[in-house]
A and B are shown apart, each in its own frame.
Chain A
């Protein structure tokens, strides 16, 4: 099935159209964030929410802060707009790396078989023996622990690569401290997020390996790497089109849960889960402060929902068993 055909089938489904429209809107908001909610000129990092005057309790919407402010006077409108950018960075950044790791491990394991397969699959099983969210919490707090002790050197190398993919940042630039915390939380999710993809890819490679065209490639003397990357991997890729959108939703939710607990991002970072955690203490007087929950809450639900609907539609199209 070609991409054109997938797209043609996709626009026949109302849920897919709904999700694609929403994602386009979110995408536009993320791209034009500096225009929609211009950062202050003195800000060190534009991902940090604008902060108003010092006043403890949240303030209702006003001329200056159109959607009101949270505790510590973070502007909600600014946070939701720039949070869109953060959500895309989280979702796509993590999904890119988990897919890559899963693809490499799954295809090597499935293609070579034997003891390599045995070893890699046992390692995968060990990673799966941890409850996902719990191990992400421990890994995030370990990495934060180094950061608090000024030992961030340990994680710099990997964060630089991630910063390059996520923010398009130069390798030689130093990462601002606020973003370093954000990046290490992403690393924690990446490290324990690749296993399902690896297993699915491995299963697919096993099936395709014994197909005639793979055999034909072997008969004419093609090298292992050529058979694997030219013939097998491209054909084993399709499950990723279903898994990746679903995973993006899960990653954004997991990250939001982390920052809800207070360990995902530094205080004031424009991230929806963090904004909701700022609302936690004001919950019992909710009737006075509905704006604290409604805007970031709606944003995160719609964002995750549209990725999940997209993944669901993809499954309907690509998986013949659901026909």
Chain B
């Protein structure tokens, strides 16, 4: 087991190296001004007036050999005049964001919790529901329930996220007037920003409960509900299909036949024998599910005007603020790599066979 975990761990630095190299090569294609902002959290005043790059090139060593620049980007670079260390991705300096008007990492710290809140609220019910439906469909293979669920999965899979979001807004915001876009109502925004309200996690629902403000909790949840449904609809089909498929595969195995032929009730066969084994392969797609949530969170946040990381990314991309985009991508890749590591280790624990290969 230890051997297996070590082997998985060894891949991580390699992946991180590859990811940072790719992002770095994208950055190094930019002009000196943008590069200085990307490599060092240097707030450069009066962008428009900077015409002559030679000072910048010298100040930030932008004409150093490429490997040296990469090294400086990773661990920071000593300023030749003042001797202070500037930059360094490893120390969390992801550059200066023009769109956020502050360091990229600060923006991520400020906006990340909003996105995390949205994803968590969406992912937990979605996972349980889609796995349950996957099992249901597989058990009733080729019966009406199965056909219905399959068709709805494939239809849900085909609806663009933003079109679904549009439909939700049309129905629930415009026609019925139940929910409004954004993250929190104006009245409650002042509550959240006031001094008595302690922001433990920056996730409003959690903070509201910790502060004992139930009215805030309800208001935030009312803002969350449309985006979280949209996000769930965009992602459930994938998990459903994986569960259904692996469940079907398991149900064809010999040991299921044995369990049935010794007279075990069908309920127990499904629950005790088939489901736990089908769950193994569902765990393996955990990383892909996270990717799905990242992907769809961008569009969902834009549609619902939700002030999360995805909306920030979209805004940066349209205003060609590559430093911000690169920073967000770097952080999300890091999260993804860690998720995959976690999934691999978990898989090694639940399924002893994979440890041996």
Contact: B18 with A301, CB < 8 Å?
no
Interface residues of A in 119-166 (CB under 8 A from B): 122-123, 125-126, 129-135, 137-142, 144-146, 148-149, 154
- Assess whether B174 is in contact with A283, with CB atoms less than 8 Å apart: yes
CB pair A141 B320 closer than 8 Å: yes
Contact B18 A129 (CB under 8 A): yes
- Establish whether residues A305 and B154, one from each chain, have CB atoms under 8 Å apart when the complex forms: yes
Contact of A134 among B11, B329, B337 (CB under 8 A): B329
- CB atoms of A137 and B317 under 8 A apart: yes
CB of B332 within 8 A of CB of A283, answer no
CB neighbours (8 Å) of A297 from chain B are: 160, 163, 166
Q: Is the CB of A138 within 8 A of B329?
A: yes
The answer to whether the Cβ of B347 comes within 8 Å of any Cβ in the partner chain is no
- Closest approach, in angstroms, between the C-beta of A1 and any C-beta of chain B? 20
* Contact A134 B22, beta carbon cutoff 8 Å: no
Contacts of A276 in B (CB 8 A): 160, 162-163, 166
A134:B294 contact, CB within 8 angstroms:
yes
B275 in contact (CB, < 8 A): no
* Interfacial chain B residues near A293, Cβ < 8 Å: 163, 166, 170
Interface locus among A55-63, A218-226, A257-265 = A257-265
Does A322 sit at the interface, judged by CB under 8 A? yes
Alpha-carbon gap, A131 to B339, bound state (A): 12
Q: Are A131 and B332 in contact (CB under 8 A)?
A: yes
With CB as the reference atom, state the residue of chain A lying closest to B249: A321
Q: Which residues of A contact B131 (CB under 8 A)?
A: none
Which of A253, A262, A273, A286 is B174 in contact with, Cβ under 8 Å?
A286
Total A-B contacts with CB atoms under 8 angstroms apart = 155
Closest CB of chain A to B27's CB: distance in Å? 9
Expressed in whole angstroms, the minimum distance between the Cβ of A155 and any Cβ of chain B is 11
In B147-182, the 8 Å CB interface with A consists of 150-151, 154-155, 157-163, 166, 169-170, 173-175
User: Does B291 lie within 8 Å of A300, measured CB to CB?
Assistant: no
B3 adjacent to chain A (CB < 8 Å): no
- Residues of chain B within 8 A (CB-CB) of A138 are 26, 317, 322, 325-326, 329
Q: Which residues of A contact B317 (CB under 8 A)?
A: 137-138, 140-141, 261, 263
Inter-chain contact B318/A262, CB cutoff 8 Å:
yes
Q: Are B294 and A260 in contact (CB under 8 A)?
A: no
Contact with A along B308-339 (1 / 0, CB 8 A): 00000110011010100110110011001100
CA A257 to CA B164, docked complex, whole Å? 12
One of B62-70, B113-121, B199-207, B295-303 contacting the partner: B295-303
Q: How far is the CA of A122 from the CA of B19 in the complex (A)?
A: 12
B interface majority secondary structure: helix
CB distance from B159 to the nearest CB of A (A): 5
Find residues 95-152 in chain B having any chain A CB closer than 8 Å to their own CB.
150-151
Q: Given the known inter-chain contacts A286-B174, A321-B249, please indicate yes or no for A263 contacting B318, CB distance below 8 A.
A: yes
Q: Which residues of A contact B162 (CB under 8 A)?
A: 256-257, 260, 273, 276-277
Q: In the complex the two chains form, is B170's CB within 8 Å of A261's CB?
A: no
A279 within 8 A of B: yes
Cα–Cα, bound, A206→B163 (Å): 42
> Chain A CB within 10 Å — which of B31, B317, B329 has the most?
B317
Expressed in whole angstroms, the Cα–Cα distance for A305 and B154 within the complex equals 7
CA distance A312 to B154 in the complex (A): 9
Q: How far is the CB of A282 from chain B (nearest CB, A)?
A: 10
CB neighbours of A268 from chain B (8 A) = none
Looking at the assembled complex, report how far the CB atom of B196 sits from the nearest CB atom of chain A, in whole angstroms: 34
Q: Which residues of A contact B22 (CB under 8 A)?
A: 126, 130
Chain A CB count within 10 A is highest, among B14, B18, B150, for: B18
Q: Which of B162, B294, B302, B329 has the most CB of A within 10 A?
A: B162
A286 to B183, CA, bound (A): 22
Q: Chain A residues near B14 (CB, 8 Å)?
A: 122, 126
CB pair A145–B329 under 8 Å, yes or no, is no
Chain A interfacial positions (CB closer than 8 Å to B): 15, 122-123, 125-126, 129-135, 137-142, 144-146, 148-149, 154, 249, 253, 256-257, 260-263, 273, 276-277, 279-280, 283-287, 293, 297, 300-301, 304-305, 308-309, 312, 321-322
* Additional 6 contacts, C-beta under 8 A, given A130-B329, A304-B159: A122-B18, A129-B15, A131-B333, A138-B329, A249-B158, A285-B174
B residues lining the A interface (CB < 8 Å) = 11, 14-15, 18-19, 22, 26, 29-31, 150-151, 154-155, 157-163, 166, 169-170, 173-175, 245, 248-249, 252, 290-291, 294-296, 298-299, 302-303, 313-314, 317-318, 320, 322, 325-326, 328-329, 332-333, 336-337, 340
A-B contact pairs, 16 of them (CB 8 A): A126-B19, A126-B22, A132-B291, A133-B294, A135-B329, A137-B314, A137-B325, A138-B326, A141-B320, A142-B29, A249-B158, A256-B160, A260-B302, A284-B173, A312-B154, A322-B245
